[in-house]
Amino acid sequence: MRYLLVEDNRELAEAVIARLLLDGHAADHAATLAEARDWLSVADYDLMLLDVMLPDGDGRQFLTEHRATRDLPVIVLTARSQISDRVDTLDLGADDYLTKPFDFAELEARCRAVLRRRSGPSRNEIRLGEALFDPGAGTIDYGNTTLGLRNRELRLLEVFARHKGQILSKSQLIDRLFSQDAEISENAIEVYVGRLRRKLEPAGVRIETVRGIGYRLTTE
């Protein structure tokens, strides 16, 4: 998954970005609303983490503008803890609300919950044919076998699973898996896809190569 963090507290931003990268996600950071608009104009994201009080404006106003043009899910991060603030922010279109200081485990759980609600299934697991993929646990179960996935394999499968049946180009996969400043070649994507493909074959989950276009996940 690819995240955009809009947060002017440098120390907090670095900690959040480091945690997201450690978990295998891609993440970009904007310290101002102007930078956030720039990032959104050049990249596609799965989720935005948005602070309320920023140097060049109110994150709530930005959220209102954002909702008028985009459907990107948003979790608001703020030091304000009053119920009225939470209600107002949710009414403006936020998908969730997290009060600072927060625990990284809770942030990750809320991100998963928002993405899960947006993708449809009410449970954390995603059914792939006869296999059951759990992004939170980083496992795929089939028959009596539980297969563990490495971070990059896990995030790659998560992208494919949420776009099952759709053709994804190498550039789209790079955009979903890596931050904007990462220098990743299409050959690297071929390597990651090859590793994941070999692990998934016994589970009846296939990653097909669509010549000249990209890859598509299918199930038996």
The pLDDT tens digits of the residues spanning 73-99 come to 999 998 876 777 778 888 888 999 898
- Spatial separation of the C-alpha atoms in residues 58 and 205, rounded to whole Å: 45
pLDDT of 69 over the 80 cut: yes
Share of the chain above pLDDT 90, in %: 39
204, 220 Cβ separation under 8 angstroms = yes
Q: Apex CA 118: angle with CA 89 and CA 61, to 5°?
A: 25
CATH 3.20.20.70, applies to 2-119: no
Mean pLDDT, residues 144-152: 87
Summary mean pLDDT of the chain: 87
Helices of type H across 92-206: 104-119, 151-162, 170-177, 186-200
Higher-pLDDT residue of 71 and 33 is: 33
Residue 58 per-residue DSSP state: E
Q: What percent of the chain is helix, strand and coil (3-state, nearest 5)? A: 45, 25, 30
Mean pLDDT, residues 169-191: 83
pLDDT of 14 over the 80 cut: yes
- Per-residue pLDDT band at 38 (split at 50, 70, 90): very high
Only one residue has tokens 């945690």, namely 19
Looking at residue 119, what is its pLDDT?
63
Looking at residue 3, what is its pLDDT?
94
Only one residue has tokens 């550039």, namely 171
Break the chain into its structural domains and give their ranges: 2-119, 126-219
Looking at residue 134, what is its pLDDT?
86
Same fold, 2-119 and 126-219: no
Which residue from 53, 59, 14, 15 is spatially nearest to 36, judged by alpha carbons?
A: 59
CATH 1.10.3720.10, applies to 126-219: no
pLDDT of 56 over the 50 cut: yes
